[in-house]
Amino acid sequence: MRMALYWLVQGCQPGDSLVFHYSGHGSQQRNYTGDEVDGYDETLCPVDFETQGMIVDNEINATIVKPLPRGAKLHAIIDSCHSGTVLDLPFFCRMDRHGKYVWEDHRPRSGIWKGTSGGEAISFSAGCDNDQTSADTTALSKITSTGAMTFSFIQAIERGHGSTYGKILNAMRSTIRNADTEFSGGLTLVPSLINMLLTGGSVSRLTQEPQLTANEPFDVYTKPFSL
């Protein structure tokens, strides 16, 4: 995965459009540098994380966000637990259930710049906030187990809700909320069990709410979405 992240941005030029999609396990670890609003670094957990370690948000940011040159664009679609700000992007879109939103400034107090080198970076994250878990579910496709956030993103595009970032985000949230009533019959506890092993926590009901972060604020209802 680390090699693939470096490959993605290698030789990136103005006009390039990059996409990073991850669907798998994620976790958190205590941050001691003071550059996280919630005091925790978010992480991705590849299959060999027990021997090779987790991939921390600081590394992801330094590898695929900071190098982006002016004129280049990166979209990340991250479907894992605790992934609300896993790209460490400076601005977080806090949206309520009525579609009203504000951009929260998540720039670290240390003054360290977590944005790009002039390019554009936008992330749809894991179907969950930093303190929430993500899940596989059969409640959405009715056929097979899928990542809830990934499925809802694809469905939003296929159903014609992909004109702006705001429309995509609202459509994704609607899909997951509608499926939430089938939670007991569809969503699995595997991601929470993994997180329990990693953090020593306990298993609780899974909650999901797709999130949007970016290197700079924008009007989510007028900015056209394009890959």
DSSP letters for 156-224: HHHTT--SBHHHHHHHHHHHHHHHHTTHHHH--SHHHHHHHHHH-----------EEEESS---TTTSB
- Span 71-93, pLDDT tens digits: 999 999 999 887 778 999 999 99
Interatomic CA distance for residues 200 and 191, integer angstroms: 13
The whole-number pLDDT of residue 155 equals 93
CATH code of 87's domain: 3.40.50.12660
Would you say residue 34 lies in a domain?
Answer: yes
Would you say residue 143 lies in a domain?
Answer: yes
Q: Which residues are catalytic?
A: 25, 81
pLDDT band at 184 (very low <50, low <70, confident <90, very high): very low
pLDDT band at 132 (very low <50, low <70, confident <90, very high): very low
| Number of domains composing the chain | 1
Would you say residue 44 lies in a domain?
Answer: yes
Would you say residue 220 lies in a domain?
Answer: no
> What is the gyration radius of the CA atoms in the chain, in angstroms?
17
In this predicted structure, which of 39-43, 142-146, 207-211 has the lowest mean pLDDT? 142-146
Would you say residue 201 lies in a domain?
Answer: yes
Question: Residue 223 has which token pair?
Answer: 């900015």
Would you say residue 226 lies in a domain?
Answer: no
10 Å CB burial of residue 69 (0-12, 13-18, 19+) is middle
Interatomic CA distance for residues 17 and 89, integer angstroms: 18
- Cβ proximity of 114 and 88 under 8 Å: yes
Q: Any residues with CB less than 8 A from the CB of 100 and at least 6 apart, and which?
A: none
- Cβ proximity of 39 and 86 under 8 Å: no
Task: Give the mean pLDDT of 193-218.
Answer: 64
Structural domain of residue 75, as residue ranges?
Answer: 2-6+19-214
Would you say residue 121 lies in a domain?
Answer: yes
Would you say residue 223 lies in a domain?
Answer: no
Segment (H or E) for 185? helix 183-186
Q: What is the largest CA-CA distance in the chain?
A: 48
